[in-house]
Chains A and B, each alone.
Chain A
Amino acid sequence: METFDELQTIWNRQPNVMGNTSATELMKKGEAHLKKVRAGHWGTIAIISVLIFVLIGYFIGMKVYQLNGLSIGLTLMIVVMIARVVLEWISANRFGSIKPDNSLAEFSAKMQRYYAWRKKIHTVFIPIIYILYIIGFTLLLPAFKANLSHGMYLYCVLSGYGFLTIFAFFLVRILRKEMKLLEFLKALN
């Protein structure tokens, strides 16, 4: 008959294994990680912001001031991109505010709230943004057809919709992963 004390003895007697690391190495990794997080956060926002400026530049450059398919399409694309930047910003801030030094109960509850909010983003806001973006892009196509060569027009259509299809695939993957995590956190509490 084995007692818990015997199990404790076995646990205590297990050989000590140390990972191949040092405090100095981890300090360097910590600094690099902090830089990467900041760069990633600003990088995403910078990419989307550049896209917005390109669209606005196009809007002004082409002197599209009257209400037609092109102006509505561009406006839609600009507005949804701005919405996406704002959501990205809020999301990063909310995640950053969850500190890993909370108690397990507090940490898991906060993470659960965060991923429930992400679920709302993925299932409500992102599909709306996505659909509006597709509508915006589709509204641009007649102008593309009128002003571009047939080959270039086909390239714009295929690459535009191709990108949106791949983007949708990645969104579904992210959603599935985060929903699994949400279920796990719910079970924990």
Chain B
Amino acid sequence: MVDKKLRFNELFDKHYAKVFRLCKGYFNGSEALASDSAQEVFIKIWESLDSFRGESNVSTWIYRISVNTCLLYLRKQSTKKEKATTVFPPIAAVQYSFEEEDRLQKMYACIQKLEEKDKMTTLMMLEGISYQDISEVVGITQEALRVRIHRIKKNLTQCVQHGNI
């Protein structure tokens, strides 16, 4: 049990922020939904930690749980509204202008226009997750992923510029 707690603490410190941003992107920038769903992801990680046999990278394992949890988070519980979970204010590590904030909002809006699998792929790609991990999370070959990412990059850039995909 002590080992499990130590391991969980380690995973939480290393991956929570990334999972949070992934969920935030999926929920159109909503920090409340991102917070609740990221918590659900880590609750599942805690529950499944004993059964993790290391057949894949631990990061792949975590992103698989994250993607599947976000995907069904709102749909499984249609009554679940955006809860007023307390979220810490942003830590402005770098100067972030209103113009950049505006473009980030445009990015969120454009990501919402993508198909579900493309949405998840985009968010993982933006988070700098390796192509090998993404292909294992989504369940497609790396070749197919490269083609998909090429198309997504083109569409996303076009959408942020012109507002449509």
Chain A residues with CB under 8 Å of chain B are 1-4, 7-8, 10-11, 13-23, 26-27, 29-31, 33-34, 99-108, 111, 177, 180-181, 184, 187-188
Q: Evaluate contact between B13 and A23: CB separation under 8 angstroms.
A: yes
A19 touches B137 (CB 8 A): no
Q: Which residues on the B side are within 8 Å of A10 (C-beta)?
A: 100, 103-104, 107
Given the interface contacts A19-B39, A104-B137, A188-B116, does A11 sit within 8 Å of B44 by beta carbon? no
A-B pairs with lowest CB-CB distance, top 5 = A105-B139, A103-B139, A19-B35, A30-B46, A15-B90
Interface: B109 (CB within 8 A): no
Residues of B25-39 whose CB lies within 8 A of A:
31, 34-36, 38-39
Query: Can you list 16 pairs linking A and B with CB atoms under 8 Å apart?
Result: A2-B160, A7-B156, A13-B94, A13-B100, A14-B21, A15-B90, A17-B31, A17-B91, A18-B88, A19-B20, A20-B35, A30-B42, A30-B44, A100-B68, A104-B139, A181-B72
Assembly CA distance A101 to B136 (angstroms): 11
Q: Find out whether the CB atom of A26 lies under 8 angstroms from the CB atom of B137.
A: no
Q: Is the CB of B20 within 8 A of A17?
A: yes
Known contacts A15-B93, A19-B38; A26/B153 CB under 8 A: no
Please determine whether B64 and A181 come into contact, CB atoms closer than 8 angstroms: no
Known: A10-B100, A15-B92, A20-B88. A101 touches B52 (CB 8 A): yes
Contact mask B62-79 → A, CB, 8 Å, 1/0? Answer: 001101110110011010
Q: Are A188 and B117 closer than 8 Å at their CB atoms?
A: yes
Cβ contact within 8 Å between A100 and B44 = yes
Is B87 a contact of A19 with CB atoms below 8 Å?
yes
A107 to B68, CA, bound (A): 7
Within 8 A of A (CB), among B110-131: 116-117, 120, 126
The smallest C-beta distance from A78 to any residue of chain B, in angstroms, reads 33
Chain A binding surface, main DSSP class: helix
Interface size in chain B (residues, C-beta < 8 A): 65
Known interface pairs A26-B42, A30-B47, A105-B139; A11-B107 also in contact (CB < 8 Å): yes
Chain A CB within 10 A, most for which of B43, B48, B52, B88: B43
Interface assignment of B132: CB less than 8 Å from any CB of chain A: no
Q: Which of A3, A7, A29 has the most CB of B within 10 A?
A: A7
Q: Is the CB of A104 within 8 A of B78?
A: no
Question: Does the CB pair A17–B87 fall under 8 Å?
Answer: yes
Are B139 and A106 in contact, with the CB atoms below 8 A?
A: yes
Closest chain B residue to A22, Cβ basis: B12
Which chain B residues border A100 with CB–CB below 8 Å? Answer: 44, 48, 64-65, 68-69
Tell whether, in the assembled complex, residue A33 and residue B47 are in contact, meaning their CB atoms are under 8 Å apart. Answer: yes
| Residues of chain A contacted by B104 (CB below 8 angstroms) | 10-11, 14
Which residue from chain B places its CB closest to the CB of A4 in the assembled complex?
Answer: B153
Supposing A26-B39, A104-B137 touch, asked if A14 and B117 sit within 8 A by C-beta, the answer is no
User: In the complex, A29→B45 CA distance in Å?
Assistant: 12
Is B142 part of the contact surface with A, judged by Cβ < 8 Å? no
Taking CB atoms, residues of chain A closer than 8 Å to B153 are: 4
